Amino acid sequence: MNRSDFPILSRTVYGKPLVYLDNAATTQKPQCVIDAIAEEYCSVNANVHRGVHFLSTQATELHEAARERVRTFINATSTTEIIFTRGTTESLNLMASSYGDAFLKEGDEVIVTEMEHHSNIVPWQMLRERKGIILKAVPIADDGSLDLEKLETLFTPRTRLLSVCHVSNVLGTMNPIRQLADIAHAHNAHLLVDAAQSVPHFPVDVQALGCDFLAFSGHKVYGPTGIGVLYGREALLDMMPPYQGGGEMIARVTFERTTYERLPFKFEAGTPDYVGTHALAVALDYLSAIGMEHIHEHEQDLTAYAMQRLAEIPDLQLYGTTPTKDAVCAFNINGIHHLDLGTLLDRLGIAIRTGHHCAQPLMARYGVEGMCRASFALYNTREEIDALVAAILRVRKMFV
């Protein structure tokens, strides 16, 4: 890995070197991903599937090769289990809609956690409005870990699905997915994993995790925006109805009756983002060449270092202090509004995120309106964390 693989990292903001610590929101792109997009538009572009001409065949091959690349990256058993979506949000909405239609009746229960992103809460609430399902949330302890004892008590014979983030986008908590899969399955429920914040950071193997469904976004894994993945076990996906109707997802259409395509196309209505899928595959190749284990080791070092350095700052409150924590540090400083801190750090060239992080129930859990969040990627360095800490101390002086 070389920082120079990422052209944007050499730019300045307000005349200062860019320190980009907003990677949980989106990651920067290596040159190979940017090139893949330009090259495909320059020399291959044609709509995929059904085309008989040369370019269409080539574009289709790249698109389907990308599906195979995703399959190997998360170790799914078959490409029929890899559905391309616009991102984690669409994957989770697909689940609420299609899984909801196939498996959930009025009074059935879905369990989420207090640390979920809105995209793993709101679609279930919308389903609750439509169908009268029951939505429950597992509480978390002060350190940001899941209360597993309490979780066990939430299951009833009506519980169908446990839907949890692999890693919290605010607390960095790494949830014990294998254990959660065993708990869910022991209660005859399925497990859906929001892996938006795990797939970019460490090896994710859907078979080893034992999950039934898993969602992630391309743009958080050094790929382009607008592309994402839903993995699902084939036997379950087979039982689920299509999510949207249109081209690509049908076998035969008459006005009397329409039959649907086989997996995974049944869930992919319309022209797919075939340039995005190819560029995502290039991003995954890039990560595999570095090694996900290596990336994890580096980011674990950054996280531990950041936690230690941030704790040195007077009046700083850290959120999410579990030992199993990855790549995210959320904090507030007494007496400084998170928005003010973020704005002033920005003037010093440091990009962090402030606000509710699409996790308002979690903010309520900690009794705050918002937090500051620094989040790390493979290209970040200890020096950048030192720069963050120095900048926070400088801003703090303006307030005390």
Q: Which residues are catalytic?
A: 358
If the CB atoms of residues 159 and 217 are measured against ligand PMP, the closer one turns out to be: 217
Q: Is 169 in the site for ligand PMP (CB under 6 A)?
A: yes
Size of the site for ligand PMP (CB under 6 A): 14
If the CB atoms of residues 133 and 192 are measured against ligand PMP, the closer one turns out to be: 192
Q: How far is the CB of 71 from ligand PMP (least distance, A)?
A: 20
If the CB atoms of residues 56 and 163 are measured against ligand PMP, the closer one turns out to be: 163
If the CB atoms of residues 58 and 360 are measured against ligand PMP, the closer one turns out to be: 360
Could you give the string, one character per residue 216-235, with x where binding to ligand PMP holds by CB under 6 A and - elsewhere? -x-x----------------
Question: How many residues does this entry show for the chain?
Answer: 400
If the CB atoms of residues 219 and 233 are measured against ligand PMP, the closer one turns out to be: 219
Among 94, 96, 133, 165, binds ligand PMP (CB under 6 A): 165
Q: How far is the CB of 335 from ligand PMP (least distance, A)?
A: 28
Could you give the string, one character per residue 83-112, with x where binding to ligand PMP holds by CB under 6 A and - elsewhere? ----xxx-----------------------
Q: How far is the CB of 55 from ligand PMP (least distance, A)?
A: 30
- Distance (Å, whole) CA 400 – CA 315: 11
Q: How far is the CB of 192 from ligand PMP (least distance, A)?
A: 12
Q: How far is the CB of 112 from ligand PMP (least distance, A)?
A: 11
The CA-CA-CA angle for residues 188, 105, 212, to 5°, reads 40
* Nearest of 168, 165, 152, 206 to residue 319 by alpha carbon: 168
Q: Is 286 exposed, middle or buried (0-12, 13-18, 19+ CB in 10 A)?
A: buried
* Nearest of 215, 207, 222, 203 to residue 267 by alpha carbon: 215
Q: How far is the CB of 138 from ligand PMP (least distance, A)?
A: 15
State the sign of the Cα–Cα–Cα–Cα dihedral 9, 317, 202, 164: negative
If the CB atoms of residues 21 and 333 are measured against ligand PMP, the closer one turns out to be: 21
One-letter amino acid at 86 equals R
- Distance (Å, whole) CA 41 – CA 368: 46
Contact 169, 216 (CB under 8 A): no
Q: Which residue has the tokens 């692999």?
A: 166
Exposure string of 144-167, with b = 16+ CB inside 10 Å and e = fewer, is bbbeeeebeebbeeebbbbbbbbb
Rg (CA), the chain: 22
Q: Is 352 in the site for ligand PMP (CB under 6 A)?
A: no
Q: How far is the CB of 375 from ligand PMP (least distance, A)?
A: 9
Instruction: Give the β-pairing of 19-20 and 82-85.
Output: unpaired
Q: Is 163 in the site for ligand PMP (CB under 6 A)?
A: no
**DSSP code at position 255:** S
Could you give the string, one character per residue 182-211, with x where binding to ligand PMP holds by CB under 6 A and - elsewhere? ------------x-xx--------------
Q: Is 22 in the site for ligand PMP (CB under 6 A)?
A: no
Q: Is 117 in the site for ligand PMP (CB under 6 A)?
A: yes
> Torsion angle of alpha carbons 51, 57, 59, 62, nearest 10°?
140
Instruction: Give the β-pairing of 134-138 and 109-113.
Output: parallel
One-letter amino acid at 236 equals L
Contact 167, 328 (CB under 8 A): yes
Name the segment binding ligand PMP (CB under 6 A); options: 4-12, 82-90, 272-280, 288-296.
82-90
Q: What is the largest CA-CA distance in the chain?
A: 73
Binding-site ranges for ligand PMP (CB under 6 A): 24, 87-89, 117, 119, 165, 169, 194, 196-197, 217, 219, 358
